[in-house]
Amino acid sequence: MLYWYADMDGIVRLLEVDPDLGGGLSPESFASAEEELLVRTVEAPRGAWDLEQTWAATHAELALLLLDGVIARDAGVGRRVSLEILGAGDALRPWPKDRHAEALKVRLRFNVMEPVRFAVLDAAFVQRAARWPTVLGQVASRIMGRSTSATLRLLIHQVVRIDDRVLLSLWGLAERFGRVTPEGILIPVPINHTMMARFVGAQRPTVSQAVGELTRRGEVERLEDGGWLLKGDFPDRAMGEAPDG
Protein backbone atom coordinates (compact mmCIF):
# COMPACT_ATOMS: atom_id res chain seq x y z
CA MET A 1 0.00 0.00 0.00
CA LEU A 2 1.21 3.51 -0.85
CA TYR A 3 1.02 6.05 1.96
CA TRP A 4 1.26 9.73 1.25
CA TYR A 5 0.45 11.07 4.70
CA ALA A 6 -1.21 10.10 7.93
CA ASP A 7 -1.82 12.27 11.00
CA MET A 8 -1.75 16.01 10.28
CA ASP A 9 -3.07 17.18 13.63
CA GLY A 10 0.16 17.50 15.59
CA ILE A 11 1.56 20.93 16.48
CA VAL A 12 5.09 21.27 17.84
CA ARG A 13 7.53 24.02 18.74
CA LEU A 14 10.15 23.61 16.04
CA LEU A 15 13.14 24.69 18.13
CA GLU A 16 12.04 22.40 20.93
CA VAL A 17 12.16 19.32 18.71
CA ASP A 18 15.16 20.51 16.66
CA PRO A 19 17.12 23.01 18.77
CA ASP A 20 20.08 23.03 16.37
CA LEU A 21 18.02 25.22 14.04
CA GLY A 22 18.38 28.00 16.61
CA GLY A 23 22.09 27.55 17.09
CA GLY A 24 22.91 31.05 15.85
CA LEU A 25 20.47 32.84 18.16
CA SER A 26 21.10 34.58 21.45
CA PRO A 27 19.39 32.98 24.48
CA GLU A 28 16.73 35.70 24.42
CA SER A 29 16.05 35.32 20.69
CA PHE A 30 16.03 31.54 20.98
CA ALA A 31 13.37 31.72 23.69
CA SER A 32 11.21 34.01 21.56
CA ALA A 33 11.64 31.90 18.41
CA GLU A 34 10.95 28.70 20.33
CA GLU A 35 7.67 30.15 21.59
CA GLU A 36 6.48 31.50 18.23
CA LEU A 37 7.73 29.02 15.63
CA LEU A 38 4.91 26.51 15.88
CA VAL A 39 4.63 24.05 13.00
CA ARG A 40 2.28 21.29 11.97
CA THR A 41 3.57 17.74 11.82
CA VAL A 42 2.73 14.89 9.47
CA GLU A 43 3.46 11.21 10.01
CA ALA A 44 3.79 8.15 7.81
CA PRO A 45 4.03 4.47 8.79
CA ARG A 46 6.42 1.86 7.38
CA GLY A 47 6.01 1.20 3.68
CA ALA A 48 5.90 3.07 0.40
CA TRP A 49 5.40 6.83 0.68
CA ASP A 50 4.71 9.60 -1.86
CA LEU A 51 6.54 12.89 -1.32
CA GLU A 52 4.70 14.77 -4.07
CA GLN A 53 1.25 14.00 -2.66
CA THR A 54 2.32 14.81 0.89
CA TRP A 55 3.83 18.09 -0.28
CA ALA A 56 0.60 19.09 -2.04
CA ALA A 57 -1.69 17.95 0.79
CA THR A 58 0.24 19.78 3.52
CA HIS A 59 0.83 22.95 1.44
CA ALA A 60 4.49 22.82 2.35
CA GLU A 61 6.42 25.76 0.95
CA LEU A 62 10.01 25.60 2.17
CA ALA A 63 10.55 21.97 3.15
CA LEU A 64 9.35 18.89 4.96
CA LEU A 65 11.81 18.55 7.82
CA LEU A 66 12.35 14.99 9.00
CA LEU A 67 12.12 14.87 12.80
CA ASP A 68 12.06 11.12 13.46
CA GLY A 69 12.41 7.92 11.49
CA VAL A 70 14.37 6.60 8.52
CA ILE A 71 13.53 6.70 4.81
CA ALA A 72 15.21 4.96 1.88
CA ARG A 73 14.96 6.91 -1.36
CA ASP A 74 15.72 5.26 -4.69
CA ALA A 75 16.41 7.47 -7.71
CA GLY A 76 16.49 5.64 -11.03
CA VAL A 77 17.30 6.53 -14.64
CA GLY A 78 16.98 3.68 -17.11
CA ARG A 79 18.48 0.58 -15.52
CA ARG A 80 20.57 2.57 -13.04
CA VAL A 81 19.33 3.08 -9.48
CA SER A 82 20.98 4.98 -6.63
CA LEU A 83 19.96 4.76 -2.96
CA GLU A 84 19.93 7.56 -0.39
CA ILE A 85 19.21 7.02 3.32
CA LEU A 86 17.40 9.91 5.02
CA GLY A 87 17.13 10.51 8.75
CA ALA A 88 16.33 13.12 11.38
CA GLY A 89 17.40 16.59 10.33
CA ASP A 90 17.09 16.04 6.58
CA ALA A 91 14.96 18.52 4.66
CA LEU A 92 12.94 17.24 1.70
CA ARG A 93 11.53 19.04 -1.32
CA PRO A 94 10.02 17.65 -4.54
CA TRP A 95 12.44 16.80 -7.36
CA PRO A 96 13.06 19.98 -9.43
CA LYS A 97 11.63 19.51 -12.90
CA ASP A 98 13.49 22.40 -14.56
CA ARG A 99 17.07 21.42 -13.70
CA HIS A 100 17.63 18.38 -15.93
CA ALA A 101 17.19 17.32 -19.55
CA GLU A 102 13.62 16.24 -20.21
CA ALA A 103 14.85 12.93 -21.63
CA LEU A 104 16.35 12.03 -18.24
CA LYS A 105 13.15 10.77 -16.70
CA VAL A 106 14.03 10.17 -13.05
CA ARG A 107 12.02 7.60 -11.12
CA LEU A 108 11.78 8.30 -7.42
CA ARG A 109 10.65 5.77 -4.85
CA PHE A 110 10.47 6.39 -1.11
CA ASN A 111 10.24 3.60 1.42
CA VAL A 112 9.70 4.37 5.10
CA MET A 113 12.00 2.00 7.00
CA GLU A 114 11.15 3.36 10.46
CA PRO A 115 7.92 5.37 11.06
CA VAL A 116 8.55 9.02 10.27
CA ARG A 117 7.37 12.38 11.47
CA PHE A 118 7.89 15.60 9.52
CA ALA A 119 7.62 19.25 10.45
CA VAL A 120 5.72 21.09 7.72
CA LEU A 121 7.62 24.27 6.89
CA ASP A 122 4.88 26.12 5.04
CA ALA A 123 4.33 29.75 4.00
CA ALA A 124 3.08 30.71 7.46
CA PHE A 125 6.29 29.33 8.99
CA VAL A 126 8.44 31.26 6.51
CA GLN A 127 6.64 34.51 7.37
CA ARG A 128 7.10 34.02 11.11
CA ALA A 129 10.70 32.80 10.79
CA ALA A 130 11.66 35.91 8.78
CA ARG A 131 12.22 37.60 12.17
CA TRP A 132 15.10 35.17 12.74
CA PRO A 133 17.00 34.85 9.43
CA THR A 134 19.55 32.49 10.97
CA VAL A 135 16.79 29.91 11.48
CA LEU A 136 15.91 30.07 7.78
CA GLY A 137 19.62 29.88 7.04
CA GLN A 138 19.88 26.69 9.08
CA VAL A 139 16.97 25.17 7.13
CA ALA A 140 18.69 26.13 3.87
CA SER A 141 21.85 24.44 5.17
CA ARG A 142 19.87 21.25 5.77
CA ILE A 143 18.63 21.33 2.19
CA MET A 144 22.16 22.01 0.93
CA GLY A 145 23.48 19.27 3.20
CA ARG A 146 21.83 16.59 1.07
CA SER A 147 23.69 17.96 -1.94
CA THR A 148 27.04 17.74 -0.17
CA SER A 149 26.18 14.21 1.01
CA ALA A 150 25.45 13.26 -2.60
CA THR A 151 28.86 14.63 -3.61
CA LEU A 152 30.55 12.51 -0.95
CA ARG A 153 28.68 9.41 -2.13
CA LEU A 154 29.82 10.15 -5.68
CA LEU A 155 33.44 10.33 -4.50
CA ILE A 156 33.08 7.05 -2.61
CA HIS A 157 31.65 5.45 -5.76
CA GLN A 158 34.98 6.21 -7.45
CA VAL A 159 36.87 4.02 -4.98
CA VAL A 160 37.95 0.99 -7.00
CA ARG A 161 37.85 -1.74 -4.35
CA ILE A 162 34.25 -2.65 -3.52
CA ASP A 163 35.12 -3.72 0.03
CA ASP A 164 36.60 -0.27 0.68
CA ARG A 165 33.56 1.33 -0.96
CA VAL A 166 31.19 -0.58 1.31
CA LEU A 167 33.29 0.18 4.38
CA LEU A 168 33.48 3.92 3.66
CA SER A 169 29.73 4.02 2.97
CA LEU A 170 29.02 2.35 6.31
CA TRP A 171 31.25 4.84 8.09
CA GLY A 172 29.28 7.61 6.37
CA LEU A 173 26.05 6.12 7.74
CA ALA A 174 27.67 5.84 11.17
CA GLU A 175 28.18 9.60 11.16
CA ARG A 176 24.41 10.07 10.93
CA PHE A 177 22.93 7.04 12.64
CA GLY A 178 25.72 5.35 14.61
CA ARG A 179 25.84 4.72 18.34
CA VAL A 180 29.03 3.87 20.20
CA THR A 181 28.85 0.53 22.04
CA PRO A 182 31.50 -1.57 23.79
CA GLU A 183 31.60 -3.85 20.73
CA GLY A 184 31.95 -1.07 18.16
CA ILE A 185 29.78 1.50 16.37
CA LEU A 186 26.22 0.26 15.93
CA ILE A 187 24.33 1.34 12.80
CA PRO A 188 20.69 0.36 13.50
CA VAL A 189 19.58 0.77 9.89
CA PRO A 190 18.49 -2.53 8.26
CA ILE A 191 20.26 -2.36 4.90
CA ASN A 192 20.39 -5.69 3.09
CA HIS A 193 22.91 -6.58 0.39
CA THR A 194 20.56 -5.56 -2.42
CA MET A 195 20.09 -2.11 -0.91
CA MET A 196 23.81 -1.84 -0.22
CA ALA A 197 24.50 -2.52 -3.89
CA ARG A 198 22.35 0.46 -4.86
CA PHE A 199 23.94 2.52 -2.10
CA VAL A 200 27.53 1.95 -3.25
CA GLY A 201 26.91 1.67 -7.01
CA ALA A 202 27.88 -1.98 -7.50
CA GLN A 203 26.36 -5.36 -8.34
CA ARG A 204 24.77 -7.37 -5.55
CA PRO A 205 27.01 -10.47 -5.87
CA THR A 206 30.09 -8.25 -5.73
CA VAL A 207 28.76 -6.50 -2.63
CA SER A 208 27.98 -9.79 -0.92
CA GLN A 209 31.53 -10.95 -1.60
CA ALA A 210 32.92 -7.65 -0.28
CA VAL A 211 30.82 -7.87 2.90
CA GLY A 212 32.07 -11.41 3.41
CA GLU A 213 35.67 -10.19 3.12
CA LEU A 214 35.06 -7.33 5.57
CA THR A 215 33.48 -9.79 7.99
CA ARG A 216 36.44 -12.16 7.73
CA ARG A 217 38.81 -9.27 8.44
CA GLY A 218 36.78 -8.37 11.52
CA GLU A 219 35.95 -4.84 10.33
CA VAL A 220 32.19 -5.32 9.94
CA GLU A 221 29.52 -7.50 11.50
CA ARG A 222 26.02 -7.91 10.09
CA LEU A 223 23.48 -8.14 12.91
CA GLU A 224 20.45 -10.42 13.06
CA ASP A 225 18.03 -7.46 12.94
CA GLY A 226 19.63 -6.23 9.69
CA GLY A 227 21.78 -3.52 11.27
CA TRP A 228 25.55 -3.27 11.09
CA LEU A 229 28.41 -3.10 13.58
CA LEU A 230 31.64 -1.30 12.68
CA LYS A 231 34.78 -2.40 14.49
CA GLY A 232 38.12 -0.64 14.76
CA ASP A 233 39.09 2.82 13.59
CA PHE A 234 38.15 4.78 10.49
CA PRO A 235 39.86 3.16 7.45
CA ASP A 236 42.14 5.98 6.30
CA ARG A 237 43.86 3.60 3.87
CA ALA A 238 40.62 3.30 1.89
CA MET A 239 40.69 7.00 1.04
CA GLY A 240 43.91 6.72 -0.95
CA GLU A 241 46.21 9.63 -1.69
CA ALA A 242 44.93 13.05 -2.73
CA PRO A 243 45.90 13.89 -6.35
CA ASP A 244 48.42 16.66 -7.03
CA GLY A 245 47.25 20.05 -8.25
Q: CA 162, CA 200: separation in Å to the nearest integer?
A: 8
Query: Based on C-alpha coordinates, what's the Rg of the chain?
Result: 20
Q: How confident is the model at residue 100 (pLDDT cuts 50, 70, 90)?
A: low
Candidates 9, 127, 132, 118; CA nearest to 64 is 118
Compute CA distances 164 → 91, 205, 238, whole Å: 29, 15, 6
Average pLDDT of the chain, as a whole number = 90
Question: Tens digits of per-residue pLDDT, 219-245?
Answer: 999 999 889 999 988 887 776 655 444
CATH class of residue range 2-156? mainly beta
3-state secondary structure of 31: helix
Q: Provide, rounded to the nearest whole percent, the portion of the chain with pLDDT above 70.
A: 91
Report angle CA 138, 22, 180 to the nearest 5 degrees.
85
Q: Is the pLDDT of residue 4 over 90?
A: no
Integer distance in angstroms from the first to the last C-alpha of the chain?
A: 52
Q: How confident is the model at residue 80 (pLDDT cuts 50, 70, 90)?
A: confident
Q: CA 49, CA 73: separation in Å to the nearest integer?
A: 10
Q: CA 223, CA 229: separation in Å to the nearest integer?
A: 7
- Domain residue limits, the chain: 2-156, 159-239
Please give the average per-residue pLDDT across 147-173, as a whole number. 91
Q: Domain spanning 159-239 has what CATH number?
A: 1.10.10.10
Q: Is the pLDDT of residue 197 over 50?
A: yes
Q: Is the pLDDT of residue 5 over 70?
A: no
Q: How confident is the model at residue 18 (pLDDT cuts 50, 70, 90)?
A: very high
Instruction: Give the residue, 244 or 102, on which the prediction is more confident.
Output: 102
pLDDT score for 28:
97
Q: CA 8, CA 42: separation in Å to the nearest integer?
A: 5
